[in-house]
Copies of this chain bind each other. A is one copy, B any other.
Amino acid sequence: MKYPKGIKPRPKKPASKSRSFDGRIKYGQRGMTLEKDLDQTNQYYLETGRAVIHKKPTPVQIVNVDYPSRNKAKIDEAYFKVPSTSDYNGVYRGRYIDFEAKETRNDQRFPFINIHAHQVNHMKQCYDQGGMVFIIIRFSLYDESYLMPIEHFLPFWDAFQDGGRKSIRYQDIKDAGLLLKQGMNPRISYLDAVDEFYFENGE
């Protein structure tokens, strides 16, 4: 992590009434492993010149900033905002790429409660503009991750909006998604699946 000149992180306080934080938020440990794997993967893709894909910063509403000294700016009052887009975007082979990543401990299905309606709306908009848009879904218990193109995801989502199933079955994700190769470096080679699905086997 880099800090503006003169700004150093303070050691974390011991947890008492308040909780320590490291920039990932709100859902406790949920999704942390997948997020770390994607951070490492995106870093690898960036360094090898394969793609430029970044996670967006957590949106925060800053209410008050204190300036204890000249070069220091400490935010001492801020609140989490509901994100209006998905978490990851960037460019690959000239095209726009946009995705959300979610992890579940459920072994039978992926519950929609993990996804916000405005995130799906955003992904629809990007898809309508010709972007490559998908959701990476990890079933932690199986240690399996799937790339599900938004066009395959939407029928399930739309049925849910119309009062249907509140989840997608594991088997449906196996059928409609692409199983991602996992390894050491990169940890989740999701761009191979992007090649396969969007560029017809790496044309």
- A-side interface residues toward B, CB under 8 Å? 1-4, 7, 9-10, 12-13, 17-23, 25-26, 46, 49, 51-52, 54, 56-67, 73-82, 84-85, 89-98, 122, 125-126, 128-131
**Are A75's CB and B60's CB within 8 A?**
yes
Pairs A-B, 6 closest by C-beta atoms: A94-B130, A91-B96, A57-B59, A75-B78, A96-B96, A91-B131
- Supply 19 A–B pairs (Cβ within 8 Å), ascending by A: A2-B81, A3-B81, A9-B79, A26-B73, A46-B125, A52-B129, A56-B57, A57-B60, A60-B62, A73-B79, A74-B77, A74-B78, A74-B79, A76-B77, A89-B90, A91-B98, A91-B126, A91-B129, A94-B96
Contacts of A93 in B (CB 8 A): 129-130
Number of copies of this kind of chain in the complex: 2
With the chains together, A2 CA to B25 CA distance in Å? 17
**Are B125's CB and A52's CB within 8 A?**
yes
A18 CB to closest chain B CB (Å) equals 4
Contacts of A2 in B (CB 8 A): 81-82, 84
Instruction: Knowing A9-B79, A80-B7, A80-B73, say if A63 contacts B96 (CB, 8 Å).
Output: no
Choose among B77, B81, B97 the residue that contacts A1 (Cβ–Cβ < 8 A). B81
